[in-house]
Structure 1
Amino acid sequence: DKKLVLDTSQNLYQLCMKTDQRDDLTFEGYHLSELLELLDRAFTNTYVIKHILEDKINEKSTAIQYFTELFLSLYGALLDPEPDELEKRAVKYLLRILLQISSYPEYLKQLIDNNQFCIIIESLANCPKRDDVKRIWCNIQQIMLTNERKKEMSSKIYISYDYTNEEFCKEFVKELRKRMTIPIWVDYENVDLSDDMWEYISPNIESATVVIILVSTAYGESTDKFQELSYIISTNKSRDENKGLIVVTTEPNFTFNRSWMKDLLHGKPMVSYENNIGHMAWN
């Protein structure tokens, strides 16, 4: 029920604002970290994000201002050698919320306007095991870079997939290479699985002239894939409007199981699943 989700999300947001005023970050039995975790889950729905962020004062979202200021008041837990674990957990989910906000260009600009926020994010992005921070910083950099500073793009295909579909991906890439000479970038050939892999992935998304999304039920369930796809969409304006982003379904009778995936991929060219992967690659 969409209305129930929106009402619940709004209540969570209101509770967050009451809870962070308490010294112990608790209110009515809830710790701020618990509320932010639930709100992070709700934010995987595009309509929830837009609903929460719609209240504005002087054209600026009051919710974005709240989340950035909350982060600036709590981020020290990430640097404390003996942090309060619940406070550290609160920052973790707050960063995930800010990452989801930063995936939307119309909201990212307001984050960039907060100079202190950008300075802290840039500083934290240089620390190891700060994947969400690195992704936020990548989103910020993409907007801040001028056209003159952007690298000249050469033809390259980037493959986005969920790890549960890795075998399908390998077979699909193999068939693609039989049919074309354009370089294909896929993470399992270039990056070891680690917390810092985003810094290798994001430049290749930016420089790709074509992105192929291998969608599946598992892809739709992944928060990481939501963030990756949002970043892909935000960079898509530099690609061919009709051929720059192609959706390939990896399972029969696939339907979009998440509204965010349906919203982001609406109207994009789609190749339907077939038992013959070679034929799919040819299409």
Structure 2
Amino acid sequence: MGRFTRIARDVRRRQFLDAYTGWVLAVLVTGLQVFSGFSEGEDWIGVVVTATTVLLLGLVALATAEIRRQLATAPESRLFRGGRLFTDRSQLPPLHTLLRDTHRSVEIYGVQLGHVVHHLLPVIADQARAGCHFRLALLTPVNGDGDKVPWIAELGTVHAFPNLEDVLRTNLVQLRHWYTGLAPKQQRNIEIRGYCHIPTASVMLFDVERRTGFAHVEPILFAVPPAERPTFWAADADDAKLFHLIVDQYRSLWQSATPLADLPL
């Protein structure tokens, strides 16, 4: 979703109207200044300088709306050197809100993606239709050769999922069925793979090639229930080394994963 689409959505919701009003007024004043200045024969350098100054003030107002939008998505987070820290899931913005928040690309790496499979597929389909590109990486109970992953049962015990193998297999089959029913454009914008490495975190990468991109990381901690796990966000501007470490490692995981269509379920 582009910048003007975001602005239209904010105006419909009556959000940041003061910032957008300032931007519109600045554009109008700039246009009037240029028109009146040249029509009255004023010095063109003075006209350009004055108009540019007013226009820059309008851009500052527009940037203010963007900053306020980003802060609004994490009202309960705490700042730290690496970005934002959430002490449990109750402090996080709803996942469907994050997915709808005007991204160009979203990558999701999860233990089982149960919430995605059962609650978020309509949102992903809508966003893919609008041009957002998705990568969904799901833990698979079998490798590309069809051999059972040996530690799946133990992992299920740790996470209170004694039937984790069946849950993963069911999610994969459901994803495959859902994907085949999508329109061609949606299929082009959605890639799904399975990986069989021991998971240590649930990770989402949002627009990591853009200035506004960030990594969402929920470490898997021993004996800590999923809802109580801390989560942090990191961006290039927060800590470039940490941000690129996360992005590079999970991009590497994606490359080693098996396409969903090739998994022998």
Common fold by TM > 0.5: no
State TM-score, norm by structure 2: 0.28
Larger proportion of helix: 1
**Greater relative contact order (CA < 8 Å, ≥ 6 in sequence):** 2
| Larger Rg, first or second structure (1 or 2) | 2
State TM-score, norm by structure 1: 0.27
Larger proportion of strand: 2
